[in-house]
Amino acid sequence: MRRGSLLVDVRERAEWDAGHARQALHVPLGGVPARLAELEAEADGRPVVFICRSGARSARAARTAVEGGLREVRHGGGGMAAWTAAGLPLAPAAGRVL
């Protein structure tokens, strides 16, 4: 089992392109149900943490994942807004949160 967690950004493409966490995987909210098996495999036993702009979409994604059978699921309350407020890095480096 690998250490850490799998961070999954569920925002839309334009939001992702404007700025995202470097280590995040992009899966727009609407694509989460169809990609649960992929997320489980990618997580490889690590917790899956969903993130969006403010926390609402990530909470929905987390519920969908739990209902789909994933274990160790969380959502990043406060989202990317809290991420940038905490001074955490974005990709691209000059990115911003939409």
**Average pLDDT, stretch 14-33?**
96
Query: Hey, which residues does 25 pair with through a beta bridge?
Result: 8
> Which of 52, 59, 61, 80 does the annotation list as catalytic?
52
| Residue 11 known to be catalytic | no
Q: How many Å separate Cα 22 from the centre of its chain?
A: 11
**Average pLDDT, stretch 53-61?**
95
Q: Residue 44: which domain range?
A: 6-85
Q: Exposed, middle or buried: residue 71 (CB in 10 Å: 0-12, 13-18, 19+)? A: exposed
In a domain, 42, yes or no: yes
| The predicted structure's pLDDT at residue 3 | 66
Q: How many domains does the chain have?
A: 1
pLDDT at 47 over 70: yes
CATH code, domain with 60:
3.40.250.10
Torsion angles phi and psi, residue 8, rounded to 5: -120, 115
